[in-house]
Amino acid sequence: QVQLVESGGGLVQPGGSLTLSCAASGFTFSFATMSWFRQAPGKQRELVASITSGDITNYAESVKGRFTISRDNTDYAVYLQMNSLKPQDTAVYYCKAGPFRPPLGGTPDYWGQGAQVTVSS
């Protein structure tokens, strides 16, 4: 059974920091590109950051220099370190697994249930 469980969300003041964690199970983690998405009220879900199975990272322009994505293939976990948080970072943050590198390229994407991050004074 595939599970992606996010944790670490909460309320933080502007300029503060939070680290999100995503614990994965039920699939071959090391073959997956892992990503963090977010969705603010009334807005579309957007990519925040991704990390491939080869540790190549990609960031949305709005978070470059502030957020860092990392993964632990031993513990089946992916992290999002968020610094210098702004009110516009407020959203539900989702962990996603996929796409998968060959020979698991046909594996569907998996999503977590989301974690709320609120940046407010």
Q: Which two tokens stand for residue 97?
A: 């697994």
Q: What is the CA radius of gyration of the chain?
A: 14
Per-residue model confidence (pLDDT) at position 64: 98
Per-residue model confidence (pLDDT) at position 45: 97
Per-residue model confidence (pLDDT) at position 95: 98
Within the chain, strands assigned E span 3-7, 10-12, 18-25, 32-39, 46-51, 57-59, 67-72, 77-82, 91-100, 110-111, 115-119
Instruction: State pLDDT tens for residues 41-54.
Output: 999 999 999 999 99
Per-residue model confidence (pLDDT) at position 106: 87
Instruction: State pLDDT tens for residues 89-109.
Output: 999 999 999 999 988 888 899
Q: Which two tokens stand for residue 96?
A: 């996603």
Low-confidence ranges of the chain (pLDDT < 70): none
DSSP code of residue 85: -
Percent of the chain with pLDDT over 90: 94
Strand-strand pairing, 77-82 and 18-25: antiparallel
